[in-house]
Chains A and B, each alone.
Chain A
Amino acid sequence: MAIVAVLGAALAASMLARRTPHGATRHLRVVSLSPNTTEILFAIGAGGDVVGVTASCDYPPEARSVTRIGGYGCPNAEKILALRPDVVVGAGEGMGALPAVRLLVQRGIPVRLFEHESFGAILELTRRLGEATGRQENARRLVASLSARLAALDERTRNVPEAKRPRVYVEVWNDPIMSIGSHSFITELVRRAGGASVTADLPGDYPRVAPELVVERDPQVILTGYMNDPAQAAAVARRIGWGRVAAARDGRIITDIDPDLLLRPGPRLVDGAEQLFRRLYPEGAP
């Protein structure tokens, strides 16, 4: 079964890497519709094939010089068509319903859309992008190294009892206050880092939450994902009614982890989980 899949993928890749009339293979032309697929494409050595990215695709730095095809969640079909892509890739909920994406499909452009709301889905996404670009081996190596690091982290946090896990409140946006719900990969990230999200029971991925709900659940650590700015921590602690929250009292409001390591479902999410683990357990393993 696996062999069939690999053969199929290899066949697809060889078909995609079309030959020019002179017989030399020319580069695949890939357009990426989301920052995380862009990041993964570069991480598996397919960066040279990427001919179009969104305005939000800012990592790695080389991605910034690639032609922009609109924003994340609002791609421009004309710009994409003008780039004559062999394949268009993207990840995120609802992307298939975007008018621009529908138009591409109608025009017969191969569009590959993926889920990314869990670590498993992100590893799978990496593998599939490897297949789509003929970089299976690179993708396999990246997945193996990420999986090994995740396994090492799990080893240290898996057995932490519920009561000993720091209660973590992740704020992905401040006005209105938005947090992470049961469907978000960030809830999984917090768990893998040895914490427990105080909003893990809320429905959806990024629910708006009432401020009093956060205060009542008394998080021990607050993580802001919209800005790395120390002033932000002070602003959160100064909010009306937030002064007695454990995290504010103990000064455990983390604003200095790069938001992209926490919010962008790509390979650096593992760095985010590792960094958060070190911040949750400054004295080492629990």
Chain B
Amino acid sequence: MSTKRRKRTHTIVALGLVLVAVAACAVFVGTVWVPPGELLARGLGGTLGIRLARVALGIVVGAALSVAGVIFQAVLRNPLAEPYVLGVSSGAGLGAAVAILTGWSVVSIWVLPAGAFAGALLTMLLVERLARIGGRLPVHALLLAGVVVGAICGSLLMFLVSTASMESSRRLHDIVWWLLGNLQISDLSLLAATAGVVAAGVALASVLSRDLNLMVLGEEPAAHLGLGVERTKIVFFVLGSMLAGVSVAACGLIGFVGLIVPHTMRMILGPDHRTLLPASALAGAVFLVAADTVARTVLAGSGTELPVGVVTALLGGPFFIALLRKRRAVAWM
């Protein structure tokens, strides 16, 4: 047991060091090349500040999406589960589209994230209400309710987009841009709020990670082992949705991270959630910061950058395929 714990500590520390290294490199490259000495000498008020804020958001959102993925994969006992599986993304997308189309999003920097978060929250409550059968929350009902509510929100979003095209192509462009997902952040308090919620969520999930080990055994065995299954499901459902919701609110839809990172870490480290959860948080942060560094630099010649959502799948897909081929027999839990 003690060697196991030591091994876990080693893994976490090693991933932490990788994160520090990747983040440090990410700060020194960007769309514009600035000599490192000059960059540091000019201090936080300039480009260094912009890059640090962006790397920080990448860490926060990468961790949030990965932990949400771990939670949903375990609680729903489904390898295809990811942060958006219960409709959070479509709800948030709908909220964001409303904020953009009403024109309110230009009033304050907070309107768009607030709209997206409200959409995510409402979807979450609706899914919970629909899935609740006789005081219980069956997993299959949750999944189905999530898919259906997600589909409905998705078509409402399509409806808004299709009618919007008659009036304003610019607002349409804004919605598409938002849906692509990007880590540009201009407001420090928005970054702080996102980081605060995510830190609290990841910490709580880590404390409760042992319960996830029981949940993957199945609800009945978990109950026999003394776990309050219904209460646990509700706690993790809210926790996962909150993590996904604040991420989406801060930077739109960034796919793939929440699906691939937990699986990758499970392949490497095994299914113990006490290691898997914090390791996924760190690995998700590393992955998203690295992907965003590519997004920021690949089009540097034309002074622009890609939305990171475009890069995550392109970068993560081949990596994941390679990993799958190397380990043909995959125990996903």
Contacts and interface: CB of A to CB of B under 8 A. Distances in A.
A176 B182 contact: yes
A10 interface: no
Task: Name which of B50, B165, B296 has the most chain A CB atoms within 10 A of its CB.
Answer: B50
A241 B191 CA distance: 14
A95 B301 CA distance: 29
B318 interface: no
A99 interface: no
Contact of B30 (A71, A74, A210, A243): A210
B167 A215 contact: no
Interface stretch (B3-11, B84-92, B169-177, B278-286): B169-177
A241 B53 contact: yes
Given A216-B34, A243-B45, A210 B304 contact: yes
B14 to A, nearest CB: 31
Nearest to A216: B32
A242 to B, nearest CB: 8
A244 B167 CA distance: 38
B114 to A, nearest CB: 14
A214 to B, nearest CB: 9
Nearest to A201: B303
B186 interface: yes
Interface string B145-165: 000000000000000000001
Contacts of A207: 302-304
Contact of A209 (B30, B169, B296, B303): B303
B185 interface: yes
B47 A241 contact: yes
A206 to B, nearest CB: 10
B161 to A, nearest CB: 12
A212 B30 contact: yes
Contacts of A216: 32, 34, 46-47
B112 interface: yes
A243 B53 CA distance: 14
Nearest to A245: B46
A87 interface: no
A55 B169 CA distance: 12
Query: What is the interface residue range for chain B against chain A?
Result: 35 or more
A104 to B, nearest CB: 17
Contact of A202 (B45, B48, B166, B302): B302
Query: What is the interface residue range for chain A against chain B?
Result: 20 to 34
Nearest to B302: A203
B315 interface: no
B170 A173 contact: yes
Given A176-B184, A240-B185, A243-B45, A210 B166 contact: no
A173 B165 CA distance: 18
Given A55-B167, A173-B170, A241-B45, A213 B34 contact: no
Contacts of B109: 235
State the main secondary structure of chain A at its contact with B. loop
A220 interface: no
Contacts of B296: 210
A107 B18 CA distance: 65
Given A175-B174, A176-B177, A212 B32 contact: yes
B297 to A, nearest CB: 10
Contact of B304 (A71, A209, A215, A243): A209
A175 B46 contact: no
Given A174-B106, A175-B174, A176-B184, A212 B169 contact: no
A209 B296 CA distance: 11
Interface in B294-331: 296, 302-305
A72 B184 contact: no
B32 A55 contact: no
B51 interface: yes
Nearest to A232: B106
Contact of B50 (A76, A209, A212): A212
A240 B45 CA distance: 8
B188 interface: yes
A235 B106 CA distance: 11
A241 B31 CA distance: 15
A241 B186 CA distance: 8
B166 A215 contact: no
A210 B47 CA distance: 11
Contact of B31 (A55, A74, A213): A213
A208 interface: yes
A215 B54 CA distance: 15
A242 B53 CA distance: 12
Given A71-B165, A175-B177, A216-B34, A210 B46 contact: no
10 contacts: A71-B167, A199-B303, A208-B305, A210-B30, A211-B50, A212-B47, A212-B51, A240-B50, A240-B191, A241-B48
A-B pairs with lowest CB-CB distance, top 8: A241-B50, A210-B31, A241-B49, A244-B45, A239-B186, A212-B47, A240-B53, A216-B32
Interface of B: 30-32, 34, 42, 44-51, 53, 105-106, 109, 112, 165-170, 174, 177, 182, 184-188, 191, 296, 302-305
Given A173-B170, A241-B48, 5 more contacts: A71-B167, A207-B302, A207-B303, A212-B30, A241-B49
Interface of A: 55, 70-74, 76, 173-177, 199, 202-203, 207-213, 215-216, 226-227, 235, 238-244
